[in-house]
C-alpha cells in the first residue's frame, strides 16, 4: 500500500513538472528531428522523483506554498530535463536496448539523432532554470549547486566508462561508492539542497538535506542494480540482466568477483568483458552472483544506507513534507520499478 501511495503521489507531481517542461519545449516545436525525438523519450514517463524531492525539501523547511509554481516548479523541471539528458547519452555509451519499456532512442532513431536530441535537452535545462522567479543572487546560488552536481555526474560517468576501457575489474567498494556519488548521488543531493535553498533553509537544514539526498541516491543506484538482475522486466521497464551485457561494475559484480572461487571469478570476468547479449551467458553470470550471495548483499547494503539517510532528517520540522521524504527513502529500496 505504501508503494502504491508513493507512486500515486509521484504521478500527480510528475504531471505538474511535465506541464512545465512543455512550456520550455512546446510539443509542436520544429524541427521534429530534435523535439519530436525528445518527446518520444519524455512521454515514456519516469518517476520524476528528483524534482519531487526538490519540492518536498522546499516545503519541509517552511517554503511558501504560494511561491512554488513560480520558483520550485521551473527548477524541478530543469533537474528532470538534465536527468533525462544523461539517460539518453548513457544508453548510447552503454549500448542499452531498452529504456522505460521501449527501445532506447539510439536504437529507434540511430546514434547521431539520439546524441543531438540529448544535446538539445541539455540546452533546454538552462532555459527552464531562467524561468524561475528568484532574486538574481538566489538564482545564482541555485545554479551553482546544480552546475556543480552536473559536473559530478559527468565525472562519475567518466570514471565508470574508463573501467570498461581499461578492462578493470579490481575495483574496491570504496572506489565504486566514489563513482556512484557522482553518477547518481550528486543530482539527488542537489535536488534536495536546491529545494531547501530556495526556501531559505538554515545551514544545518541544508547540510542535512544535502547528505540525505546523497546517501539515498547511492542506495537508489544499488537497488536499481539489484532490480536489473533480480526484478521483473515487465515492471522494471528495462531488460533484466542488461547490466551484465553492458559489463557493468556494480556493487553486486564487485562483491561477486571478490568472493567467488577462482573458476567462477574468471568466468564472470570473461562474460562481463565480452558484453554479450547471449541470454545463456547472462544467466550464467547472474547465477554466479547468486552463489556468492552478492545480490542479497547489495540489497541489504541499500537498506542499511537508507536507514542512515533517514536519520539525517531528524533536524527538520516534523511536517507532512519531511514525513513524505522519509517515505520516499523507503520506497527507493522496496520498489519494483
134's enclosing H/E stretch is: none
Domains of the chain are: 2-334 (1.10.600.10)
CA distance 337 to 99: 12
> Whole-number mean pLDDT of the chain?
95
Its pTM stands at 0.94
For 282-333, give the DSSP string: HHHHHHHHHHTTHHHHHHHHHHHHHHHHHHHGGGS--SHHHHHHHHHHHHHH
Q: What is the dihedral of CA 184, 191, 231, 337, to 10 degrees?
A: -150
Average pLDDT, stretch 226-240?
A: 74
pLDDT digits 0-9 by tens, 206-221: 999 999 999 999 999 9
Residue range 9-21: mean pLDDT, rounded: 95
Distance separating alpha carbons of residues 282 and 118, to the nearest angstrom: 29
Residue 158 to residue 149: CA distance in whole angstroms: 14
Residue 25 DSSP one-character state: S
- Residue pair 121/88 in contact by the 8 Å Cβ criterion: yes
The torsion angles phi and psi of 272, rounded to 5 degrees, stand at: -65, -40
Question: What would you report as the CA-atom Rg of the chain, rounded to the nearest whole angstrom?
Answer: 20
pLDDT tens, position by position, 109-121 = 999 999 999 999 9
Instruction: State the burial class of residue 166 (Cβ atoms within 10 Å of its Cβ: 0-12, 13-18, 19+).
Output: exposed
Kindly report the CA angle at 132 between 127 and 137, in degrees rounded to 5? 105
Q: What is the pLDDT of residues 20-71, one digit of tens each?
A: 999 999 999 999 999 999 999 999 989 999 999 999 999 999 999 999 999 9
Amino acid at each position: 500500500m505504501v508503494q502504491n501511495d508513493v507512486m500515486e503521489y509521484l504521478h500527480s507531481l510528475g504531471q505538474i513538472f511535465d506541464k512545465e517542461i512543455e512550456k520550455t519545449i512546446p510539443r509542436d516545436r520544429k524541427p521534429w528531428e530534435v523535439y519530436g525525438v525528445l518527446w518520444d523519450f519524455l512521454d515514456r514517463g519516469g518517476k520524476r522523483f528528483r524534482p519531487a524531492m526538490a519540492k518536498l525539501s522546499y516545503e519541509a523547511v517552511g517554503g511558501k506554498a504560494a511561491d512554488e509554481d513560480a520558483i520550485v516548479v521551473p527548477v524541478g523541471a530543469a533537474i528532470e530535463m538534465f536527468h533525462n539528458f544523461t539517460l539518453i547519452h548513457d544508453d548510447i555509451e552503454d549500448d542499452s536496448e531498452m529504456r522505460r519499456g521501449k527501445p532506447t532512442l539510439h536504437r529507434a532513431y540511430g546514434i547521431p539523432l539520439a546524441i543531438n536530441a540529448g544535446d538539445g535537452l541539455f540546452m533546454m535545462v538552462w532555459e527552464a532554470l531562467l524561468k524561475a522567479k528568484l532574486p538574481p543572487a538566489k538564482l545564482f546560488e541555485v545554479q551553482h549547486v546544480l552546475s556543480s552536481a552536473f559536473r559530478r555526474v559527468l565525472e562519475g560517468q567518466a570514471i565508470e566508462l574508463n573501467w570498461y576501457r581499461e578492462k578493470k575489474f579490481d575495483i574496491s567498494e570504496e572506489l565504486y561508492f566514489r563513482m556512484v556519488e557522482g553518477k547518481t548521488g550528486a543530482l539527488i543531493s542537489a535536488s534536495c539542497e536546491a529545494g531547501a535553498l530556495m526556501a531559505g533553509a538554515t545551514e544545518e537544514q541544508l547540510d542535512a538535506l544535502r547528505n540525505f539526498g546523497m546517501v539515498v541516491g547511492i542506495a537508489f543506484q544499488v537497488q536499481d542494480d539489484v532490480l536489473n538482475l533480480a526484478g521483473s522486466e515487465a515492471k522494471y521497464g528495462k531488460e533484466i540482466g542488461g547490466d551484465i551485457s553492458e559489463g557493468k561494475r556494480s556493487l553486486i559484480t564487485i562483491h561477486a568477483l571478490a568472493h567467488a572461487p577462482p573458476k567462477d571469478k574468471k568466468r564472470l570476468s570473461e562474460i562481463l568483458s565480452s558484453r554479450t547479449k547471449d541470454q545463456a551467458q547472462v544467466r550464467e553470470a547472474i547465477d554466479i552472483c547468486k552463489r556468492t550471495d552478492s545480490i542479497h548483499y547489495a540489497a541489504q547494503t541499500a537498506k542499511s544506507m537508507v536507514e542512515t539517510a533517514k536519520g539525517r532528517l531528524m533536524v527538520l520540522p516534523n511536517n507532512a513534507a519531511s514525513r513524505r521524504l522519509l517515505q520516499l527513502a523507503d520506497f527507493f529500496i522496496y520498489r519494483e520499478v
